[in-house]
Amino acid sequence: MTVRKNQADLTADEKRRLVASLIELKRSGRYDAFVTTHNTFIMGDTDTGERTGHRSPSFLPWHRRFLIEFERALQSVDSSVALPYWDWTRDRSPRSSLWAPDFLGGTGRTLDGRVMDGPFAAAGGNWTVSVRVDARTFLRRSLGSGVRELPTRAEVDSVLAMSTYDMAPWNSSSDGFRNHLEGWRGVNLHNRVHVWVGGQMATGVSPNDPVFWLHHAFIDKLWAEWQQRHPDSGYVPPAGTPDVVDLDETMKPWNDVRPADLLDHKAFYTFDTD
Ligand code: CU1
Ligand code: CU1
């Protein structure tokens, strides 16, 4: 059974194994296929047309499935690996062990944002950014410069308190839990963290930075926390809404899964806090 742990609690050996699996997926080309899929959806998701991965109710189930697929790919390399989550309300500094050279490496240099240390630094030769939005092939970050502060636990709690999952017009202007968590409204949780990391994380090719998976594993955990707090609220819309994925509608690009199939994370993995 897959148990997703807080990244701050990983042992040195767990970090080594995760990094080695990431690098092997990258070497084989399987990693870049995930980056391409993500970018395709971010470019295609619009407020007035079809929207599946982002700015819509299926933001949470879409990324849950995306992470499950990626975690399974990692496990095909090393069956002991699970995706850790980054609780950015607690580890909220560029000096966190998350950004140490034995894990994800640190922020980029001032000149061009190039990450200079850790396993994903360009000089190591293991992490050429191939699916990209410009000519630059090196991983970039500018921790804390696009926006100064990561969201606080109080801000997270204010969003977890919202009892309605989502509401019309089911896009980036909606009120409700999903859109406040995604970050288009209010205190801005998910989107703000992408901007705080900067570099590729602030673009559609954000999965080029391995921290993408740790960030989304925490967003996914917050969805589970919300479900626990609001047992009488559920995924909406139920049916019949154009351009968005209803509860019982299949979801692209997989077409074998509906949001209804993804509501219970424990069917796939547990968190260390479950
Ligand atoms: Cu995304
Ligand atoms: Cu994201």
pLDDT band, very low/low/confident/very high, at 151 (cuts 50, 70, 90): very high
Tell me how far CA of residue 56 lies from CA of 50, 85, 101, 255, in angstroms.
Answer: 9, 23, 36, 17
| pLDDT tens per residue, range 38-96 | 999 999 999 999 999 999 999 999 999 999 999 999 999 999 999 999 999 999 999 99
State the pLDDT at residue 240: 93
- Ligand closest to CA 219: 2
State the pLDDT at residue 195: 98
Mean pLDDT of 240-258: 97
Please tell me the pTM assigned to this model. Answer: 0.98
Tell me how far CA of residue 98 lies from CA of 104, 123, 253, in angstroms.
Answer: 6, 20, 31
State the pLDDT at residue 134: 92
Question: CA-to-CA distance for 188 and 171, rounded, in angstroms?
Answer: 15
What is the Å distance from ligand 1's center to 193 Cα? 12
Where in the sequence is the domain holding 85, given as residue range(s)? Answer: 2-271
Amino acid at 150: L
Question: In the chain, what percentage of residues exceed pLDDT 90?
Answer: 99
What is the Å distance from ligand 2's center to 80 Cα? 25
Buried (b) or exposed (e) across 148-177, using 16+ Cβ within 10 A? eebbeeebbeebbebeebbeeebbbebebb
What is the Å distance from ligand 2's center to 151 Cα? 14
- Sequence-distant (6+) residues with CB within 8 A of 117 are 101, 105, 106
pLDDT band, very low/low/confident/very high, at 25 (cuts 50, 70, 90): very high
What is the Å distance from ligand 2's center to 63 Cα? 8
- Ligand closest to CA 194: 2
State the pLDDT at residue 188: 97
Mean pLDDT of 193-213: 98
Burial of 212: CB neighbours in 10 Å, binned 0-12, 13-18, 19+: buried
Q: Confirm if 61 and 71 have CB atoms less than 8 A apart.
A: no
State the pLDDT at residue 86: 99
Closest CA to 144 of 184, 198, 187, 90: 198
What is the Å distance from ligand 2's center to 242 Cα? 24
What is the Å distance from ligand 2's center to 134 Cα? 20
State the pLDDT at residue 31: 98
**CB-side neighbour CA atoms (13 Å) of 142:** 13
State the pLDDT at residue 163: 98
Count of domains forming the chain:
1
What is the Å distance from ligand 2's center to 207 Cα? 8
What is the Å distance from ligand 2's center to 208 Cα? 12
Output phi, psi for 140, to 5 deg: -125, 145
pLDDT band, very low/low/confident/very high, at 37 (cuts 50, 70, 90): very high
State the pLDDT at residue 170: 98
What is the Å distance from ligand 1's center to 88 Cα? 17
What is the Å distance from ligand 2's center to 233 Cα? 24
- Sequence-distant (6+) residues with CB within 8 A of 196 are 88, 143, 144, 146, 147, 149, 150
Mean pLDDT of 189-205: 98
* CATH number of the domain where residue 267 is located: 1.10.1280.10
What is the Å distance from ligand 2's center to 194 Cα? 7
What is the Å distance from ligand 1's center to 85 Cα? 16
What is the Å distance from ligand 2's center to 246 Cα? 21
Tell me how far CA of residue 132 lies from CA of 53, 74, 140, 180, in angstroms.
Answer: 19, 22, 11, 28
Question: CA-to-CA distance for 252 and 230, rounded, in angstroms?
Answer: 27
Q: Assign 3-class secondary structure to 68-93.
A: HHHHHHHHHHCCCCCCCECCCCCCCC
In whole numbers, what is the pLDDT of the chain averaged over residues? 98
Q: Enter the tokens of residue 109.
A: 């240099």
State the pLDDT at residue 119: 98
Q: Enter the tokens of residue 211.
A: 């921290």
State the pLDDT at residue 34: 98
What is the helix (H) or strand (E) element at residue 39, kind and residue range? helix 30-44
